[in-house]
Amino acid sequence: MVTHYKVAGHLACGRHGNNLPSTSQLAKVKCRNCRNTEAFKEARRAERNAARRAARKASKEHVSNDWRTAWENRLAALPGPQRLPRGFADQRFV
């Protein structure tokens, strides 16, 4: 059975009927006419870009905090009262 793309209460391909299966999930749409509309293409583009932004943001946060913990571990491993740089912690010595 063909599943249509529903946007703003209407089918993207312009068909009418009470018994037509429709969804707003892009991966489940099977109607070729719906998949070829600008509304579907724009929604797919926006979903793809949002996923890319989220992946970029997640990897960026992970990398930015990684150097800090590595530096703290390195200073903590040094013998003697080594000082942490400003802003790393409220403690005076490691």
Give the tens place of pLDDT for each residue, 33-80: 999 999 999 999 999 999 999 998 887 666 556 777 787 788 777 776
Cα 85 vs. chain centroid, distance in angstroms? 34
Q: Which residue has the higher pLDDT, 50 or 17?
A: 50
Residue 68 has a pLDDT of 75
Structurally, how many domains does the chain consist of?
A: 1
| Residue 92, domain member (yes or no) | no
Helix (H) or strand (E) holding 6: strand 4-7
| Residue 60, domain member (yes or no) | yes
| Residue 91, domain member (yes or no) | no
* pTM of this prediction exceeds 0.75: no
| Residue 56, domain member (yes or no) | yes
Q: Is residue 11 over pLDDT 60?
A: yes
| Residue 67, domain member (yes or no) | yes
Please give the average per-residue pLDDT across 12-33, as a whole number: 91
Domain that holds residue 50: 4-77
The closest of 32, 49, 39, 46 to 9, measured between CA atoms, is 39
Q: Is residue 17 over pLDDT 90?
A: no
Residue 48 has a pLDDT of 96
| Residue 19, domain member (yes or no) | yes
| Residue 41, domain member (yes or no) | yes
